[in-house]
Copies of this chain bind each other. A is one copy, B any other.
């Protein structure tokens, strides 16, 4: 007897206190932004996650850094970083070179192909950023970033 729900007729649920919670709104927004990032790259035939983009920028701007230093900057464990670097290296974007000063560490760097790819990626990120900020004035965007940074510092001191 119950009929299949027609998309336009699905009753929105009661979300109670959730929409007034900063953490909840932050998480939902982040999820939508992630989806937009993925769609932007997919439409351009490119495969990259926001995390991979951040990693590539960090390696480009700090060529020669070690895996430990990179893991610390990304806020992840060094063991978590290994398969991520494996994948980017397999794609020919990044190399682990021997460090000239410390036999234990790798000096990370982008390949020429990685540099070129990063330029393409950066263009797509700008497109994506324009879209997600399309409902905001540039003043609002700056305000939003500043407020988010304030939240981040408040959350970090545990």
List residues of chain A with CB under 8 Å of any chain B CB. Answer: 1-2, 5, 10, 13-18, 20-37, 39, 50-51, 54, 57-58, 60-62, 65, 68-69, 72-73, 75, 101-102, 105, 122, 125, 128-129, 131-136, 140-141, 143-145, 147-156, 158
Q: Are A147 and B144 interface neighbours, CB within 8 A?
A: yes
Partner of A35, one of B13, B17, B133, B158: B158
Contacts of A30 in B (CB 8 A): 26-27, 30
Partner of A24, one of B54, B101, B154: B54
27 A-B contacts (beta carbon < 8 Å): A1-B101, A1-B102, A5-B68, A5-B69, A13-B65, A13-B73, A14-B61, A16-B60, A17-B122, A18-B54, A18-B58, A21-B129, A24-B54, A25-B152, A26-B30, A26-B148, A27-B33, A27-B54, A28-B152, A29-B151, A32-B152, A35-B158, A39-B158, A132-B155, A135-B150, A136-B150, A136-B154
Partner of A22, one of B61, B122, B141: B141
Contacts of A51 in B (CB 8 A): 27
